[in-house]
């Protein structure tokens, strides 16, 4: 039986240093920036909902898309998921998975916003708690699309900077 194992002493003896140790390229800084932005957006969004879960349930109800039985569980679960994802994306080892989660949630929000295009929502979009009644438009959909794109860039950047 022949086993080909590199002895530990020679594992990193390559004459040219790897990308990870040679310096931090543009992907690293882009990823860091987007991690901070997405983390801040999701943490802020979750906190505005957590401080008044009942008001958030009224926002969910105003969308008229969910059965009554799901309003309370979702009013509790969604801000918590946002908080966990917002916190997780700030940690590099978990950033890729958190970005995938953020991308999926934002994609879901985009779909919901498109389905309500032009409708006047009594509490606004409710993205950061209740606000003025406004019709759903390009700003609301655009915000979510930007979040999806940012999450995608984090996923790509994490792969590139890990090489």
- Three-class SS of residue 117? strand
**Site residues for another protein per CB under 8 A:** 1, 3, 5, 7-8, 50, 52-55, 57-58, 72, 75-77, 79-80, 84, 121-124, 129-133
Instruction: Name which of 78 and 150 has its Cβ closer to another protein.
Output: 78
Question: CB of 134: closest distance to another protein in angstroms?
Answer: 8
Instruction: Name which of 33 and 57 has its Cβ closer to another protein.
Output: 57
Question: CB of 52: closest distance to another protein in angstroms?
Answer: 6
Question: CB of 44: closest distance to another protein in angstroms?
Answer: 16
Q: Which of 94, 68, 87 shows the shortest CA–CA distance to 154?
A: 94
Residue 46 exposed, middle or buried by CB count within 10 Å (0-12, 13-18, 19+): buried
Instruction: Name which of 58 and 152 has its Cβ closer to another protein.
Output: 58
Q: What does the block give as tokens for 79?
A: 């801000």
Residue 115 exposed, middle or buried by CB count within 10 Å (0-12, 13-18, 19+): exposed
């Amino acid at each position: 039986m022949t086993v080909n194992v590199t002895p530990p002493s020679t594992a990193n003896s390559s004459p040219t240093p790897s990308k990870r140790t040679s310096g931090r390229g543009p992907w690293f800084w882009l990823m860091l920036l987007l991690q901070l932005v997405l983390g801040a957006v999701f943490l802020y969004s979750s906190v505005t909902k957590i401080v008044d879960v009942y008001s958030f349930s009224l926002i969910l109800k105003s969308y008229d898309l969910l059965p009554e039985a799901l309003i309370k569980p979702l009013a509790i679960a969604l801000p918590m998921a946002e908080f966990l994802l917002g916190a997780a994306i700030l940690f590099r080892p978990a950033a890729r998975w958190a970005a995938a989660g953020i991308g999926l949630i934002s994609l879901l929000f985009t779909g919901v916003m498109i389905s309500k295009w032009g409708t006047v929502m009594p509490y606004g979009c409710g993205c950061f708690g209740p606000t003025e009644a406004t019709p759903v438009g390009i700003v609301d959909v655009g915000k979510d699309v930007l979040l999806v794109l940012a999450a995608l860039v984090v996923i790509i950047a994490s792969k590139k900077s890990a090489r």
